[in-house]
A = this chain, B = another copy of it.
């Protein structure tokens, strides 16, 4: 092992040990202290002076010198508006009920003991993310409220901004009498630090990666602790045979075109054959107007063909499983609800899928049988989001089935332990 790797390893072990210690204190921290830390952090973010702006300018200058494009630079920038938004997020979290300590389902057993469950923090989570420095505050505030400690690894292009933000978090924790080490930011851009972070089961209980699919797949493969991960969002909207066509038109348009880049945007449209001739020309005209390319099955193509100015192509097998994140949609005519459900379960990514229908049994079958993290009736797939679901904040979206599915808020950072209350009972 080189001198440098020895140093890095010692540094990561120190972070891990400190996080584990801080986690014990955070798990037992009073609700009031956690809320005070969140409000102090909000205040410090709003009042943040030249130190934070200088740090952010260093990242922006380095970014410009490295040739980052305008959207990337925009995401790097800690404008007053961005800071106000994250500060507001902290205040909202402070106002939410404390998830920790909740005791549920206590029932008396025939032996005399009472058995229930208590919600407790997971312990220490590691978070790996790219570019936007506001994620540092989102992760820190969720850790504080949920009574966890965290070790953060932001994008290298935001390192100075992240370090300055982490100092504000530490000051806020200290002000509330909580350990600074509850939120630690890895202070090096060395990539080997990620490899260490995901392989310290003695110090880190779960890893939450946010970023490109390649990064997430690599981390999932190599991690020695559980990973809450988000892979594809190949979302479907299915227009059933019995349907309010005007409603379906409005919702499918929104699901596809309100924004093209989010993971919950609809990428594939299924239409029941009984309504294809009514629905497809109308939605097709809307898509054509907005420049959305349509990759369609032969039957859909025949109905869309006469549209002037439409970008049309024949869908290939690959299209059915593709997440475009772009103004492109795949379109298929199906003969039954069964075919729609089977198609979604086969080609979808188990993220978010919606049915547009007025038929109650069909709505219930879709909800039950589509195996996705979010299933919807008569609503835009774009609603699949922690804020829209009322979670207050979102640490990520899970495409796994284990532990947490879909948008992950405070509860995803907790688990339930068993509580037994007795009066001297013994096992016979």
A residues within 8 Å of B by Cβ? Answer: 24, 27-28, 101, 107, 109, 111, 113, 115, 118, 120, 122-123, 205-206, 226, 244, 247, 250-251, 253-255, 258, 345, 354, 365, 367-369, 371-380, 382-384, 388-390, 400-403, 405-407, 415-427
The CA of A115 and the CA of B418, in the complex, are separated in Å by 28
The CA of A118 and the CA of B258, in the complex, are separated in Å by 28
Across-interface contacts of A253 in B (CB, < 8 A): 426
The minimal Cβ–Cβ distance linking A365 to chain B, given in whole angstroms, is: 8
Give 8 CB contacts A-B under 8 Å. Answer: A28-B369, A122-B402, A258-B426, A367-B419, A372-B417, A375-B417, A380-B426, A384-B420
Top 10 A-B pairs, shortest CB-CB distance: A379-B422, A254-B426, A382-B427, A247-B424, A376-B420, A374-B418, A403-B403, A378-B422, A226-B402, A406-B418
In the complex, residue of chain B having the shortest beta-carbon distance to the beta carbon of A378: B422
Integer count of this chain's copies in the complex: 2
**CB atoms of B376 and A422 under 8 A apart:** yes
The CA of A420 and the CA of B388, in the complex, are separated in Å by 10
**CB atoms of A402 and B415 under 8 A apart:** yes
**CB atoms of B379 and A425 under 8 A apart:** yes
The CA of A376 and the CA of B425, in the complex, are separated in Å by 11
Across-interface contacts of A372 in B (CB, < 8 A): 417
Across-interface contacts of A418 in B (CB, < 8 A): 373-375, 384, 389, 405-407
Across-interface contacts of A388 in B (CB, < 8 A): 109, 111, 113, 115, 427
The minimal Cβ–Cβ distance linking A160 to chain B, given in whole angstroms, is: 34
The minimal Cβ–Cβ distance linking A275 to chain B, given in whole angstroms, is: 16
Across-interface contacts of A354 in B (CB, < 8 A): 420
The minimal Cβ–Cβ distance linking A308 to chain B, given in whole angstroms, is: 26
Known interface pairs A383-B420, A418-B374; A254-B427 also in contact (CB < 8 Å)? yes
In the complex, residue of chain B having the shortest beta-carbon distance to the beta carbon of A382: B427
Known interface pairs A226-B226, A254-B426, A254-B427; A206-B379 also in contact (CB < 8 Å)? no
The minimal Cβ–Cβ distance linking A366 to chain B, given in whole angstroms, is: 10
